[in-house]
Amino acid sequence: MKKTIVLLLAFFFYYTPLWAQAEASVWYFGNKAGIQFINNQIVPLTSSVINTDEGCATISSPQGKLLFYTDGITLYNHLHQATPNGQELKGHSSSTQSAVVIPNPKNPYLYYLFTIDATAGKNGLCYSELDMRLDGGKGDIIPDKKNLSIKQPVTEKLTAVKHRNGIDYWVIVHGWLNGEFLSYLVTAEGINLTPIISKVGKYHDGTDLNTQGYMKASPDGTSVALALEESQLFELYDFDNATGKLSNPITLSLEANSYPYGIEFSPDGTRLYGSAAGTGKVYQYNLLAGSPDAIKKSATVVAKSPAGEWVGALQAAPDGKIYYTLYKTKYLGVIHYPDSLGLKCKAENNFVNLGEGIAHLGLPTFSQTFFKEEIQEKTITYFDPNKTITIGQDIVLNNVLFEFGKATLQTSSFAELDKIVEILIKDPSLQIEIAGHTDNIGNKSANLTLSTQRAKSVGDYLVSKNINVARIAYVGHGSAIPIANNDTEEGRAKNRRVSFVLKK
């Protein structure tokens, strides 16, 4: 017979991840290489007309139909024809991230194409506007909206991710010969050409090598990371996707002659991956390790190219995996389980056979939000001391609150916690495990620490009411187990919670 105690059940929903971003389901890159993700299966494509050593971008419809692709110089439609007004763009096929495409947040026919020149060249960052109704429905650049200058000089780093409002986008670049990140807000009305400037982290200067290397935002928009080739390091930052500001840099140094190049986050944002082209290695960093020093020390080599080939770009995919290039081969490698820690992520070289296509250094740059874990509902239970619950069931404390950003209990929490005390006093054989949770805003290690401290504060309160400490366990999960969407304040408030499980 199942053991039960008297408690009231109030139901809510618990979420598990899904990936459904068909806009990133077609990739064209390298020397006429291409793949398509269909029902999480990879199909090699032979229709590409680009030959690019590095930068490229592709965009498909929400249903997964190819719309257009580019090497940063020429725009090709879904028939693999150069569009009438899509030539002489101001990107460069040897720019690490020569282009990215952003949908207009409210008009399904309009897209913004951002391009970036190679080696901090004179063209810098430009944008063009595309309308899919042009050229008989095949799409083209609007005649007076082509190669509009934004900023020069900038490095070859270019990433995009949604604003916290879930509608608008940030496009982020880094200046050259300075230490400035520039975040441009993209809305349905257009591009705000006055950037949010973050003067933080390394000064980007030196030879052309330091203009190169990828930059990516995490899919949930809370972190940004980049590679600096000449400096032999990666950098990791917190990103505030409400304000566009970067902060709290962490430098992740590599051995000499590593030439770091690719960068990518796991879908849940808890792991960072970086490639070292010079040594053929792929590193993983545990962003839940704790302090900046602990994150640095978590570095683990999870892959190495089979014959010393350069490892280039790392790119998240619609199937929840991360793929990487093996330079001038017909293969892509894969990280099968990128959310998993250490070697459990299971990297595998030569996983995708590109057929006649050849991988070079680059893979397409997308809005990172395309790879954000979506959520599926599951039932959970809120606490109320009147009905029955099975021992071992997870219960959310609905009225336990803390001071902002702290583990200090508000006095309004005591009434609900006293009910827990009564239950534990009534049955001395019961044990309790308390779990703390946060939303996804801010540094993930800091959130993990805060959630642990909050769970401990609840445990300490129970001890203060004469519950034996040996009956109490606590754990923090940070932002890893949401029960609502973090895109809204209502959802984030639900995710900032403490739950418990009673055990015999």
Provide the CATH number for the domain around residue 420.
Answer: 3.30.1330.60
Same domain membership, residue 163 and residue 25:
yes
Q: How many CA atoms lie within 13 Å of 351's alpha carbon, on the beta-carbon side? A: 19
Same domain membership, residue 394 and residue 434:
yes
Provide the CATH number for the domain around residue 64.
Answer: 2.130.10.10
Which pLDDT does position 486 carry in this prediction?
Answer: 87
Residue at a domain's end among 345, 372, 399: 372
Q: How many C-beta atoms lie closer than 10 Å to residue 362's C-beta?
A: 29
Residue at a domain's end among 352, 372, 392: 372
Same domain membership, residue 415 and residue 367:
no
Which pLDDT does position 365 carry in this prediction?
Answer: 98
For the chain, how far is it from start to end, CA to CA, in angstroms?
A: 13
Same domain membership, residue 78 and residue 54:
yes
Look up residue 320 and give its two tokens. Answer: 């929840």
Where on the phi/psi map is residue 405: left (φ > 0), alpha (ψ -120 to 50), or beta? left
Same domain membership, residue 387 and residue 365:
no
> Residue 18 burial (CB < 10 Å; 0-12/13-18/19+)?
exposed
Same domain membership, residue 342 and residue 402:
no
Task: Please identify every stretch of the chain with a pLDDT value under 50, giving residue numbers as ranges.
Answer: 1-20
Same domain membership, residue 349 and residue 461:
no
Residue at a domain's end among 331, 350, 372: 372
Q: How many CA atoms lie within 13 Å of 219's alpha carbon, on the beta-carbon side? A: 26
- Count of the separate structural domains present in the chain: 2
Q: Which domain holds residue 361?
A: 20-372
Answer positive or negative: Cα dihedral of 374, 443, 291, 15. negative
Same domain membership, residue 181 and residue 66:
yes
Which pLDDT does position 16 carry in this prediction?
Answer: 37
- Give 309's strand partners: none
Same domain membership, residue 348 and residue 431:
no
Same domain membership, residue 386 and residue 368:
no
How far apart are alpha carbons 41 and 8 in whole angstroms? 45
Contacts 24+ apart (CB under 8 A), 187-194: 187/105, 188/104, 188/105, 188/106, 188/107, 191/112, 191/127, 191/150, 193/150
Same domain membership, residue 402 and residue 270:
no
CA nearest 288: which of 443, 79, 83, 61? 443
pLDDT tens digits along 63-73: 999 999 999 99
Same domain membership, residue 407 and residue 304:
no
The angle, 0 to 180 degrees and rounded to 10, between the axes of the packed helices 444-464 and 414-426 is 60
